[in-house]
Structure 1
Amino acid sequence: MLGFGQLAMMVGYDSESFILESVIHSIHEREPETISPYAGYYGQAVIFAAYTIASFLAPSILNVTTAKTMLIMSAVSKLLFSAFTGISILAVVTFFMIPSKDVENCIESSEKRGTFVEALMGILISALSKRIKGFGLKPTMTIGAISVLVYCGLVHVSTPFEAPLRPTSEEPLLIYHSYPLIFVIAFAAGVSDCCINGVRAVICALVLPERRVQSYSVARMYHAGACTVCFFFSPVTPLYVYTIGLSVLSVIATIVFYRVADSTKSMERKLTQISMEKKKIAEMQVC
C-alpha cells in the first residue's frame, strides 16, 4: 500500500514537472518577452529549495505526529494542481487505508519517544530480500548504480550536446531518440531512483537506529539541495556534465556505501557477541 501510494503521488508530481517545462517553452516561443525560456528550471529549483527546508523540518514534525499523517499531508499538497486531482485523491485514500498499528521491525513506530519505494522494483526487492540475506544493501545499491550508468549512457549517446541549452540541429553522438529508447531510459531511471532511495532508508535505519528519521531527512536535504543547485545552473550546464557527473557520483556513492555497509555488519557482529557474552554470564550467575 505504501509503494502504491508513493507511485500515485509521484506520477502526479513528475507529470506536473514535465508539463510545466513544456508549457513555459511553448509560451516563450510564441511571445519571447513574456517569460524566460528557463523559467521552468527556475521553478523546479524553487520547489527543490522548499523540499530541502521541508526535509530539515520533517523529523521535528514527526516527533509530534505520525508517519501516516505526514504521508496524507504530502498527498493532499498533488491537489494544488487540478489536472491531477484524481490521482492525488487516490493517493490520499490509499494512505488513509494503511493500518496504523505497529508491526514487527517496523521502520517508524507509532510510539513517540521525543527529543520515511516504488512499485515494480519495490516488489522485486521485497521478494528477494526474503530469500537472499542482505539483498536490501549491497545488491540493491549495485543495481541502482548500474541503472544510473545505463540511462546516463543512453542519454549521452542519443542527445545532442547543446540540446539542454538551446534548440539545435546537431547530430547525436551515436543513435537517435525513439519511443522504445525513451521508455528504456525512463525505466532505468525509475529502477535507479527506487533502489537508491530504498538503500538510503535502510542504511540510515541500521547506522543510526535511534535517529533514523533524522538521518534520512538529512540525506534527503543534501539530495534536494543538490537538485536546487543543478536547476539554477541548468541554463549554462551542458548535457555531458549531467551524464558523466551522475555516472561518476554513482560509482563513488557505491564505493562509500559498501564501506558503510561493511562497518555496519562489523558493528552488528560485535553487538551480537556482546549480547551472547552477557547471556552466558547471566546463565553462569544463575547456576
Structure 2
Amino acid sequence: MNQRRFELLCAALLGFGQLCIMTGFDSESFILESVIHSIHEREPARISQYAGYYGQAVIYAFYMIACMFSPSILAISTPKVNLVLSAIFFTAFPIGFLFTNSYYYFFSCALLGVGFALFYQGQGGYLTSHSTRETIESNVSFSWSVACCCMILGSGILAIITKVSSTEIEHLPEALNITNEAHKMERRFSDMEISFLFTAFTGCSVLGIITFFLMPSKDVENCIESSSEKKETFTGAFKLTCSTLVSWKMVQLMPLFCLVGLNTSFWLSVFPTAMSFTTHNSHLIYLPAVYSCAVGSGEVVMGILISFLSKRIKNFGQKPTMTIGAIFTLIYCVLIHLSTAMDAPMRPSHAEPILFHHSYLLAFTIGFICGIGDCCINSVRSVICALAWPKRRPQAFSVSKVFQALASCILFFLSPITPLYVYTIGLPVLSIIAAILFFSIAKRTQTMERKMTEGTRNAFEIGKKLNL
C-alpha cells in the first residue's frame, strides 16, 4: 500500500471511530432536553426538568478544564491511547439512561467532558502524524466527512425506534393524565423509547472503542508531527499550553473558536429542542430524525467537496472555506428566525412564527445548510491550528477547544432563559467578525510558509553546490 492510500485509510478509520462515538452523543443532544423533560414529567423527583441543558453545560465545563491538561497527557502517551480512553468515557454517558439517576447523570457528563478533550487531542495528534503538509487539508476534510455520517446513522436509529414506539407515544398524554394543553401537544418520549434509543447509542460507542484500539499507529513519512518522538515533558507541555493561551495570534482567533462552540451547541441542541417544544409540531414525530439526517448529509457533502477542491486549489481549505461557512451560517439562522417562536428553546410554546411553520422539508433544508456551514468552520479551525503554530500544534488544538468549550458552557447555562433570537442574530454577526480576523491570520500563515519553503530550498541548493 502506497503512502497516500495509507493516509486515507488512517483518516477513514479515525473518522469511523468518531462516527461511532458521536452517533450517540450527537443524536442524544438533538433530543436530550426533551427526553429529560419527559422523564421529569413522569417522576419530578428523579431529575430536574432543565438537566438536559445543565448537563451539557457540565460537559463543556469539564471539557474546558481538561483541554488545559490534554496536551500534557499526549506528551506522555500517544494519540491512540487518548482516543481509546475517550471512547470509554463516551460510552459511560448513554448507559446512564438505562437507569436514569441524577447523580450518575451529572457524573457521566463530567466524564464525557474529559473524554471530549482526550478525543480531540488524540484526533489532532493522529491526523498530523498521518498527514504531510500537502495532504493535511484533504485528510482533515475526508475524516470529518466520514465522521459526520454519524448523524445519518443516528437519524436512522431515531426514525426506526420512533416508528416502533409510535403507538405508545400517541397514547402517552392520556396515560399521564396531563391536563395542561401545552403539555398535551409537545413531543414526549416514553420509557420504552428512551431505553431502545440509549441501548443503541451505547452499542455504537462500544464499536468506537474497538475501532480506535485496532487503528494503525505508525507515522507516515514526512508527517507534519511525529507521535513517536516525545519532545516535551508533562510540565513543559503545560507551560506551552499556558503561553499559547495568551498569545496574540490565539486572541485574534478566539472569535472563530467561540463561533465553533456556539454554533455547534445551537444546531446540536438548542434548535432541535425548540422544534420539540413547538406544540404545532406535535404530529411531526420524525422531525429529529429528518433534521439529523439533513445535518449529516450537509457535513458529508461539504467535507468531500473541500477534500476534492483542496487538491486542485491551493489553500482552498482556508479563506474560501471560511467564507462559505460564514455565508451558510447566516442563511440557516435567517430560516430559523423566520420559522421558530422566540420562546421555543425555553419552554413548550404555542406562539406563532414570524413567517412559516416547521415542516419535514423545512427541517431538512435548515439541517443541510447548517451541516455545510458547520463543516466549513470546523475544517478551517483544524487547518489553521495545524499550520499557524508549527512548534506547538497540540497546544494550539487544545487551546482552541478551551475557547470552544467555554462558549458552549456559557450557552447551555443560559439556555433556559435565552430567547431564540439572541442566537439567530448573534451567530451571523460573530461569524463575520471571525472571518475577518481569520483572513488576517491565514494571510500571515501563508507568508510564513512561503519563507520557510524558500529557506529550505536555498539551504538545499547551497548544500548541493558545496557537495559539488
Change (3 A) 1:128 1:66: same
Contact 2:346 2:416 in 1 (8 A): yes
1:113 paired with 2:238, answer no
Which residue of the partner structure matches residue 69 of structure 2? 57
Which residue of the partner structure matches residue 242 of structure 1? 423
Letter in 1 for 2:339: S
Residue deviations 1:7-35 (CA, integer Å, cap 9, x gap) = 22222101222333112222344566765
Change (3 A) 1:190 1:6: farther
Contact 1:147 1:189 in 2 (8 A): yes
- How far did residue 62 of structure 1 move? 0.5
Output aligned runs, 1:1-287, within 5 Å: 1-30=13-42, 35-80=47-92, 81-82=94-95, 83=199, 84-111=201-228, 112-114=230-232, 115=236, 119-282=300-463
| SS of equivalent residue, structure 1 residue 163 | coil
Change (3 A) 1:71 1:195: farther
- How far did residue 43 of structure 1 move? 1.1
Contact 1:67 1:108 in 2 (8 A): no
Quick check: 188-197 or 225-234, which moved more? 188-197
Give me the whole-angstrom Cα distance separating, in 1, the residues matched to 2:58 and 2:67. 14
- How far did residue 214 of structure 1 move? 0.4
Quick check: 135-144 or 227-236, which moved more? 135-144
Letter in 1 for 2:408: C
Structure 2 stretches lacking a partner, 5+ long: 1-12, 96-198, 237-295
Change (3 A) 1:279 1:103: closer
Contact 1:41 1:232 in 2 (8 A): yes
Aligned-CA RMSD value: 2.3
Structure 1 stretches lacking a partner, 5+ long: none
Q: How many residues align?
A: 286
- How far did residue 284 of structure 1 move? 5.6
Contact 1:52 1:222 in 2 (8 A): yes
Give me the whole-angstrom Cα distance separating, in 2, the residues matched to 1:110 and 1:274. 26
Contact 2:21 2:91 in 1 (8 A): no
Contact 1:3 1:119 in 2 (8 A): no
Letter in 2 for 1:252: I
**Identity percentage over the alignment?**
59
- How far did residue 76 of structure 1 move? 1.6
* TM-score when normalising by structure 1: 0.90
